Amino acid sequence: MVASSLAFVRASGLCQGGLRRWARLSGSAKLRMGGQITRTPARTAATVVVEPAGRVCWDEPVRIAVHGLAPEQPVALRASLRDEKGALFRAHARYRADARGQLDLQRAPALGGSFAGLEPMGLVWALQPDRPFWRLLKRDVQTPLLLELEVLDGREPAGPGEPEGGRVLARAVHERHFMAAGVRRVPVREGRVRATLFLPPGHGPFPGIIDIFGLGVGLLEYRASLLAGHGFATLAVAFSNFEDLPKDFHCLSLDYFEEALCYMLQHPQVCRLLFIELVSRNLSMKGVTCTRCTKAALFPFPHTFLLEISLVSAI
């Protein structure tokens, strides 16, 4: 469920053993027979490369690679981030570099850890909380989440409390955003409607979506903001526990959602409307069935479609 974006740059490396002092030199001296001294290139420090390097949204895939490893070197990659409340999420996987000391997650399968097999974005979708039953949510879509990537030396034993790897060979911090460049965020307070409208870049008009989250969470915007980056004018609607809306959910007023629907149908930058119905787990199956039938009968507008979808984004 959670977890759509989606840049995953620079890293610092450690030289092995007594070679640390040679890291600043372009090469090391080698004494050959006959007393001739030549210079051979020194192995570069390991670095993490994330492409594309610009602004990347949460639902966009990226290419993660590691350069400067020893040939066939075993390593562990670890990803971690903290949510807006400070809760830690982590994932890890074991890999082996190729004969040139390169590691590309689009080509190299994970050998174990949080996942296994060829999973280029596994370090993101496999993130798990340290707190039991904690869910990754993003409330402020105008700020990114910071994903830290670390490369650990798999030839060394793991440290205390660590599932994989030894020394940290390289590290990078990657920003994953929730608003694509040019997306506009417009707070909506029309009648009883409490919502936020996200408009794609450009003048439009755009196909529209109404995004309704589950019960008791207030106004969550991250799905709507990401959908706007794909060309949809998306209205994230709150219906409880937000501003002057009821704190507790007792009765679902369809008139409230009809107001939101009319707002989108009359908006000059919306050309047609896709209505997304997201049913909360807290509703009984009987209530779900009634809601579907009633809504379908209540909104017989032309070019309006009633859809039920499941959440497929990574958050």
Q: Please tell me the predicted confidence (pLDDT) of residue 149.
A: 96
Q: Please tell me the predicted confidence (pLDDT) of residue 301.
A: 37
Pick the CATH number of 45-176 from 3.30.1280.10, 2.60.40.2240, 3.40.50.280, 3.90.79.10: 2.60.40.2240
- Tell which wins on pLDDT, 291 or 59: 59
What is the pLDDT confidence band of residue 39, given thresholds at 50, 70 and 90?
A: very low
Segment 133-189, tens digit of pLDDT = 898 889 899 999 999 999 999 877 666 666 666 789 999 999 999 999 999 999 999
SS3 label, residue 263: helix
Say if residues 214 and 280 touch (Cβ distance below 8 Å): yes
**CATH 3.40.50.1820 placement within the chain:** 184-308
* Sign of the torsion formed by the C-alpha atoms of 132, 133, 136 and 139: negative
Question: Among candidates 183, 225, 222, which has minimal Cα distance to 202?
Answer: 183
Q: Of 3-7, 238-242, 294-298, 309-313, which one has max mean pLDDT?
A: 238-242
Segment 250-288, tens digit of pLDDT = 666 677 778 888 888 889 999 888 766 554 544 432 333
For domain 184-308, is the CATH number 3.30.70.2740? no
Segment 47-72, tens digit of pLDDT = 999 999 888 999 999 999 999 999 99
Q: Please tell me the predicted confidence (pLDDT) of residue 170.
A: 95
Q: Please tell me the predicted confidence (pLDDT) of residue 164.
A: 65
Return the C-alpha torsion angle 299, 305, 308, 314, nearest 10.
-130
- Whether the model clears a pTM of 0.85, i.e. scores above it, the answer is no
The mean pLDDT value for 73-92 works out to: 95
Mean pLDDT lowest for which of 42-51, 93-102, 147-156?
Answer: 42-51
Question: Among candidates 97, 51, 44, which has minimal Cα distance to 68?
Answer: 44
Q: Of 24-28, 32-36, 135-139, which one has max mean pLDDT?
A: 135-139
**CATH 2.60.40.2240 placement within the chain:** 45-176
Q: Please tell me the predicted confidence (pLDDT) of residue 214.
A: 63
Give alpha helix (H) positions in the chain.
122-125, 222-228, 254-265, 285-298
The mean pLDDT value for 78-92 works out to: 95
Dig out the tokens for 265 from the structure: 């149908």
Mean pLDDT lowest for which of 21-30, 53-62, 69-78?
Answer: 21-30
- Tell which wins on pLDDT, 244 or 72: 72
How many beta carbons lie within 10 A of that of residue 96, not counting itself? 15
Q: Please tell me the predicted confidence (pLDDT) of residue 242.
A: 64
